[in-house]
Structure 1
Amino acid sequence: MTRNIYITSIEGHAGKSTIALGLLDTLSREAKRLGVFRPVARTSDERDYVLEMLLGHEAVNLSYDDAVGVGYDDVHADPDLALSRIIERFKAVEAQCDVVVIVGSDYTDVGSPTELSYNARVAANLGAPVLLVLGGQSEDGESRSPADMAQVYSIAHQELDAAHAQLVGVVVNRSDPDHLDDIIGGVSAAVGDDTPVWAIPEDPFLIAPSLGSLLAAVDGELLRGDADLLQREALGVVVAGMTMENVLLRLIEGSVVVVAGDRSDVLLATLMAHASETFPSLAGIILNGGFDLLPQIERLMDGLDVALPVIRTSFGTYDTARIITKTRGRLAAESPRKFDTALALFEQHVDAAELMRRLDLHPPTVVTPLMFEYGLLDRARQRPQHIVLPEGSDDRILRASSTLLRRGVAKLTILGDEGEVRGRAAELGLDISGASILSPFDEELRDRFATEYVKLRAHKGMTMDVARETVTDVSYFGTMMVHLGLADGMVSGAAHTTAHTIRPSFEIIKTKPDVSIVSSVFLMCLEDRVLVYGDCAVNPDPDAAQLADIAISSAATAAQFGIDQRIAMLSYSTGTSGSGADVDKVRAATALVSERRPDLAVDGPIQYDAAVDAAVGKSKMPDSEVAGRATVFVFPDLNTGNNTYKAVQRSAGAVAIGPVLQGLRKPINDLSRGALVQDIVNTVAITAIQAQAVAAEKQEQA
């Protein structure tokens, strides 16, 4: 049975989009087929940005037109006919989905007597319980008291009750951060039953407009600067209608500065202040008045080489400032930081487990790639570990760091020059204030690491001078941090080769006592399950003993990530039907695994089809507990493994997470140089989970 939920409010600007995004993200961990529906949407040339944002979520596979019921004009013309059309279109969406998130209309006087009453009527007719969103801020921007919120709830409840809509929960969004408990208490008293009430604090960042939206609002043009930085939000406005020195005193972090186009002195001073580490980092500059810059001024700006966006508009100072202050920020798909902020607020302040229980969602019987990825983040968040990221000069690392910190996935140290790293993050509009920034040339650590490295490599004739030079390499520096307990794990490789990333771990971290070889696996997320493939990235041609090590390590990795351990030792032959050196190697490796770990379900040699297909497995190996049900696949060599994982990734549309290194005493993981931000986030989460396991082992031994 499809379970649905209807998100609505009694007024505009309550932040339904934040709640809808958080709810959609939560549901994506619980259901395979998610839907989004907007019963009443704008029918003008401008598409509904909230709906487009939600449809952009990875878990949703619907078109914009399918997800819309009717337009506002349709409701005004004939509310009953519009409702019939809404139900008809909703049923078509419901038939395709396990759960549908229904987002009520914006507050635009859709129906009579109030818009909420029409939304309540729609919810009742769609059979969807209502998650009521109340705005914690009044229209003039003042925080509402607990008594005010209780009164707002009472008004809303009357409308829901009159339409016989079922209330599943109340979220007071944009609440006064200093009075969350009081607000929850006040509204809970007004609710009067066991309906849960949650309060999410106001976050000014979520309502801040991006520089791109300000560019459009003032009908401006980008004169110079990095167009990618137009995504940054403007957290304030400074109208530079004064002398240069007074403007510099009034600059605000993350603000947009409005400068008259003929005030070249103020423009240049503002650009220089932004480039300096002693002044706030700005979001951008808007030159008003439509004046052309003098050639000599443009030459000076060229010399400053500042990426800060400079926008020109023909409006005067007053109109420019008025337009900017009236431009409201949107939770749009192109703002990753807003996404992360909204998700983090929902995760931290709404009891998702309780909400899911009230929706009566049953645990999923399949595991989709998205479910698995979110499971990684959840597990890493339970006991945050300290991960070092050596490649602080890579924008992808900074973006991933912002997401990881905002979502509470891990504690981070980023290697690089602190001024440069924090400066670039500020330019990108990223918040990495929670990360430590450490220079690999830090003298105290450099000497400490060099001394340790000389001890470790004394048998190779290592000298102090060479060691001091070696440990300033970011991979060596990060690995030494892990070795000495200054970090729990390391993730690198976005800008370095695999060899550059993992060579230091072979020299410094080394293998676990019972493991002879470092290997890797890919976590292959298929449509309905997750499999483990090893080794697909490190060892070209392992012998039988090494292959057995890879199998045992792969089973341990599978266990760490909640995957059943049924090991298929792959070959071109199944059982006793074939012979030859390659088959004999796999047969010997299988015997070694059974001898060393009799508790593991392992079979081989076995062909891939017999390992995955129940019918083929039963035919070729009828007595095997692995055939047709394998979850861990051990390939005989790197050539086979690497090609197979890529073939499955491309042809079956699987999500390949990895390579995940295994066999090391402490976790070090490599990234592809083409890694996306989400790949980095996933790999850090995996590394953190591995570090949790290391910490648990130490605790057991203590």
Structure 2
Amino acid sequence: MARSVYVTGIDRGDGRQAVELGVMELLTRQVDSVGVFRPLVHAQAPGEPGSDHVVELLRARYRLDLPAPATYGMTYEEAAALQAAQGQDELVSTLVDRFRAVERRCQAVLVLGTDFADTNIPDELAFNARLANEFGAWVLPVVGGQGGDAPAVAAEVLSAHRAYTDLGCSTLALIANRVAPAVKQPVQRALAAKLPVPAYVLPEEPALSAPTVAQLVEATGAEVLLGDAAGLARDVRSFVFGGAMLPTFLTALTEGALVVTPGDRADLVIGALAAHAAGAPPIAGVLLTLGQHPGPNVMALAARLAPGTPVAVVPEGSWPTAAALTHLEGRIGPESRRKAEIALGLFELHVDTAELTKRIELVRSERVTPMMFEHELLERARADRRHIVLPEGSEERVLRAAEVLLRRNICDLTLLGEPGAVLRRAASLGLELPQPAEDAADRVRLRIVDPATSPLRERFAALYAELRAHKGMTVERALDVVTDVSYFGTLMVQEGIADGMVSGAVHSTAATIRPAFEVIRTSPGASIVSSVFFMCLADRVLVYGDCAVNPDPDARQLADIAIQSAATAAQFGVEPRVAMLSYSTGTSGSGVDVDKVRQATEIVRQERPDILVEGPIQYDAAVDARVAATKLPGSAVAGRATVLIFPDLNTGNNTYKAVQRSAGAVAVGPVLQGLRKPVNDLSRGALVEDIVNTVAITAVQSQRALEGAGK
């Protein structure tokens, strides 16, 4: 029987999407087969099937193995007709049947209750309670606290608990959402004293309630004249209606504002975009009214001034446009990746997910899926936060990753670059980074450091000159070298100012790791620096090494790579069973290449008898139990290998890319190993999620490095 959680409310406007997303995150950390079910959904048009942006977000984000129709019960219109014709019992029975079809396929199911918006359901709270009881699901009521004082919010939550309990529901916990930050603690104390179940209070998060430019375009039916996907995804935090002359108009602009002005006011359009380009302040976009398109010269200048910034036009005037915009609130949909990360950060910061998991009584799956591996990685980084330096501080993907890392409380960060330029770039992308403290000696979530003007420059130059004196390095030359962001970041790690470094989004691998070779150097007992990829397949995580650093290691080096890779695997929860790969298995082949692998295997056995290792062995015999039973019967590794060591870089690099592309595996890495302190390289095609995962891995590596230093 699947364990199910029914997230519901008592009225509209409770911001339940953030909670639904947080609960799904919690479930997918524990089990590999999770479903989602929305009993009733609004139809897109009369007579058409229904759909829901939250369900589609969950299906896409968590790669749920459920076809869309299975995730919905029926539309509100169908429900009303069935209830009118055959009664509520028949309606509930039909919904239960459709829920059971999902439940049979999953280990856990998240149920999304009705939305209390134009549903025409009598006593909607009681209807949700009955469905939860029939589904055998825990109930998680969410109460909207927007605008309420502490006594009022607490009273609403207590009433919700009493209502659902009186209707026979098993209450998992209660959540007061969208609560004013000033009353969060009083509400929390009041609920803790009066409720027999856990209660959590989530403060209002303006970034979640702010609509995006894309949502406003959809709501007004606007025609987009300029703007890219990133620009349309910007949050609209306020509106500025342009009618004044330009000097007065410019003083009214605020960060994240949407400028609404008639299309014939070219001065205001160009003025707003010029202000955005200067970062004073960055706006969300421009919405032109009265259906008037600026001339081609104006549009060409606009495109050059602020590339990507949306400019759209609506046929109506300012008054009906304002009426359409005023009450529009943000939503978290499949396209809202940034908002989803913000919601998860909010949920994880204010909800005790370990307590909720324990109450649901989920038994963790033995199988490790890619998503479970990523969740575990982020949890381990968050549990003992470290400070990571990102040298490419102005790069868009790095800034987007930085916002995720900070929002989700994964680590502290230093971004390298000119502070004003970094903050302007972040603002132009619609990102919210916490403002760094002026006193860099304080432990803060974010620092922005310019190597050229940093007080650390002279100290680092002296250190680097000392380390490279045998190569003729002088302090004068070192003063220039350490302004290079890769060298500056590496020296921060060496000096313990940062715990690790991640770079390579725009720099080459050589530019990233050369400073580490020169400054940090190899750890005691390591003769070589190598790398691994964590290959997250559908049903397991494998470790591939070395696929990024060493072109043609000899037997001694290959043995070191195997030993390092086994240690890295164990550090990240993968039980190491090492396969030394070759084109032959056991004693079936000979030749220089096979002999190298055979010799490396013997070195591992002699130096680390505690490591399970087999080699030479072919890939199929290493991972397929049926092949292993034929080629190497009785082996403790064959058919069960988790760490696969390739004989050379050509084989390893091509294999990991083939598996990544052909099998749909998630490749996390390369993760460097063998350095005294963690430095990791990114692919120049790295996605934002790749950067987040690599930073989390670096943080976990630094935890182990500091543990070792303390012994």
Look up the equivalent residue of 2:325 and give its one-letter code.
I
Shift of 1:180: 2.2
1:175 to 173, 176, 179: 179
Between the aligned partners of 2:3 and 2:299, the Cα distance in structure 1 is 60
Residue 14 of structure 2 is aligned to residue 14 of structure 1? yes
Between the aligned partners of 1:496 and 1:559, the Cα distance in structure 2 is 30
Q: Deviations over 1:376-402 (max 9, x none)?
A: 111111122221222234321111111
* Map of 2:603 onto structure 1: 592
* Map of 1:148 onto structure 2: 152
1:478-493 correspondence to structure 2 within 5 Å: 478-493=489-504
Q: CA RMSD in A?
A: 2.4
Residue 338 of structure 1 aligns to a residue whose secondary structure is helix
Between the aligned partners of 1:156 and 1:33, the Cα distance in structure 2 is 31
Look up the equivalent residue of 2:590 and give its one-letter code.
S
2:76 to 63, 72, 76: 72
CA 1:186–1:482 in 2, change beyond 3 Å: closer, same or farther? closer
Shift of 1:306: 5.6
Q: Deviations over 1:564-606 (max 9, x none)?
A: 1222222333334443322322222222222322332223333
Residue 309 of structure 2 aligns to a residue whose secondary structure is coil
* Map of 1:123 onto structure 2: 132
* Map of 1:310 onto structure 2: 311
Look up the equivalent residue of 1:477 and give its one-letter code.
F
Residue 168 of structure 1 aligns to a residue whose secondary structure is coil
Number of equivalences: 692
Q: Deviations over 1:551-572 (max 9, x none)?
A: 1111111121122122222233
For the 8 Å contact 2:276–2:306, the answer to whether it is kept is: no
Q: Deviations over 1:411-453 (max 9, x none)?
A: 1122233333222221221122353223343364444433333
* Map of 1:287 onto structure 2: 288
2:555 to 544, 548, 552: 544
TM-score w.r.t. the length of structure 2 is 0.91
Between the aligned partners of 1:548 and 1:626, the Cα distance in structure 2 is 16
Q: Deviations over 1:448-472 (max 9, x none)?
A: 4333333222222334554444333
CA 1:227–1:84 in 2, change beyond 3 Å: closer, same or farther? same
* Map of 2:676 onto structure 1: 665
* Map of 2:324 onto structure 1: 323
Between the aligned partners of 1:672 and 1:451, the Cα distance in structure 2 is 32
Deviates more, 1:198-207 or 1:327-336: 327-336
* Map of 2:260 onto structure 1: 258
* Map of 1:607 onto structure 2: 618
Shift of 1:642: 2.2
Shift of 1:621: 4.3
For the 8 Å contact 1:116–1:156, the answer to whether it is kept is: no
For the 8 Å contact 1:153–1:190, the answer to whether it is kept is: no
* Map of 2:655 onto structure 1: 644
Shift of 1:669: 1.0
Q: Deviations over 1:168-217 (max 9, x none)?
A: 211111112222232234345554x3x21111111122111111122233
* Map of 2:399 onto structure 1: 398
* Map of 1:56 onto structure 2: 60
CA 1:177–1:466 in 2, change beyond 3 Å: closer, same or farther? same
Residue 56 of structure 1 aligns to a residue whose secondary structure is helix
For the 8 Å contact 1:289–1:313, the answer to whether it is kept is: yes
For the 8 Å contact 2:274–2:306, the answer to whether it is kept is: no
Residue 311 of structure 1 aligns to a residue whose secondary structure is strand
2:250 to 240, 248, 251: 248
For the 8 Å contact 1:109–1:115, the answer to whether it is kept is: no
Shift of 1:548: 1.4
Between the aligned partners of 2:536 and 2:153, the Cα distance in structure 1 is 45
Between the aligned partners of 1:217 and 1:183, the Cα distance in structure 2 is 35
For the 8 Å contact 1:387–1:411, the answer to whether it is kept is: yes
Shift of 1:639: 2.3
For the 8 Å contact 1:493–1:673, the answer to whether it is kept is: yes
Q: Deviations over 1:635-690 (max 9, x none)?
A: 22222222332333334332221111110111111111221111111111111111
For the 8 Å contact 1:229–1:428, the answer to whether it is kept is: yes
Between the aligned partners of 1:626 and 1:176, the Cα distance in structure 2 is 57
Look up the equivalent residue of 1:114 and give its one-letter code.
D
Residue 314 of structure 1 aligns to a residue whose secondary structure is coil
For the 8 Å contact 2:4–2:111, the answer to whether it is kept is: yes
1:179-218 correspondence to structure 2 within 5 Å: 179-188=183-192, 191=195, 193=196, 195-218=197-220
1:64-463 correspondence to structure 2 within 5 Å: 64-77=68-81, 78=83, 79-108=88-117, 110=119, 113-137=122-146, 142=147, 144-157=148-161, 159-161=163-165, 163-188=167-192, 191=195, 193=196, 195-277=197-279, 279-293=280-294, 297=298, 301=302, 304-305=305-306, 307-433=308-434, 434-442=445-453, 444-463=455-474
1:456-471 correspondence to structure 2 within 5 Å: 456-464=467-475, 466-471=477-482
* Map of 1:30 onto structure 2: 30
For the 8 Å contact 2:226–2:303, the answer to whether it is kept is: no
Deviates more, 1:364-373 or 1:285-294: 285-294
Shift of 1:26: 1.2
* Map of 1:44 onto structure 2: 44
Shift of 1:307: 4.5
Between the aligned partners of 1:169 and 1:505, the Cα distance in structure 2 is 48
Between the aligned partners of 1:305 and 1:100, the Cα distance in structure 2 is 45
Between the aligned partners of 2:504 and 2:690, the Cα distance in structure 1 is 12
Look up the equivalent residue of 1:66 and give its one-letter code.
A
* Map of 1:579 onto structure 2: 590
Between the aligned partners of 2:38 and 2:190, the Cα distance in structure 1 is 31
Shift of 1:303: 6.3
Between the aligned partners of 1:267 and 1:674, the Cα distance in structure 2 is 35
Residue 28 of structure 1 aligns to a residue whose secondary structure is helix
User: Share of identical aligned residues, percent?
Assistant: 51
Residue 149 of structure 1 aligns to a residue whose secondary structure is helix
Between the aligned partners of 1:631 and 1:307, the Cα distance in structure 2 is 45
For the 8 Å contact 1:150–1:190, the answer to whether it is kept is: no
Residue 106 of structure 2 aligns to a residue whose secondary structure is coil
Between the aligned partners of 2:274 and 2:631, the Cα distance in structure 1 is 74
Look up the equivalent residue of 2:514 and give its one-letter code.
R
For the 8 Å contact 1:209–1:234, the answer to whether it is kept is: yes
Between the aligned partners of 1:119 and 1:171, the Cα distance in structure 2 is 17
Could you list the runs of 5+ residues in structure 2 that have no partner in the other structure? 435-444
Shift of 1:113: 3.7
TM-score w.r.t. the length of structure 1 is 0.93
Between the aligned partners of 2:284 and 2:358, the Cα distance in structure 1 is 43
Residue 646 of structure 2 is aligned to residue 635 of structure 1? yes
* Map of 1:514 onto structure 2: 525
CA 1:645–1:272 in 2, change beyond 3 Å: closer, same or farther? closer
* Map of 2:441 onto structure 1: none
Look up the equivalent residue of 1:486 and give its one-letter code.
I
* Map of 2:508 onto structure 1: 497
CA 1:637–1:247 in 2, change beyond 3 Å: closer, same or farther? same
Look up the equivalent residue of 2:361 and give its one-letter code.
D
Between the aligned partners of 1:16 and 1:564, the Cα distance in structure 2 is 39
Between the aligned partners of 1:297 and 1:44, the Cα distance in structure 2 is 38
Look up the equivalent residue of 1:687 and give its one-letter code.
T
For the 8 Å contact 2:157–2:176, the answer to whether it is kept is: no
Between the aligned partners of 2:162 and 2:405, the Cα distance in structure 1 is 42
Between the aligned partners of 1:304 and 1:583, the Cα distance in structure 2 is 61
CA 1:158–1:415 in 2, change beyond 3 Å: closer, same or farther? closer
Between the aligned partners of 1:618 and 1:292, the Cα distance in structure 2 is 72
* Map of 2:438 onto structure 1: none
CA 1:307–1:570 in 2, change beyond 3 Å: closer, same or farther? closer
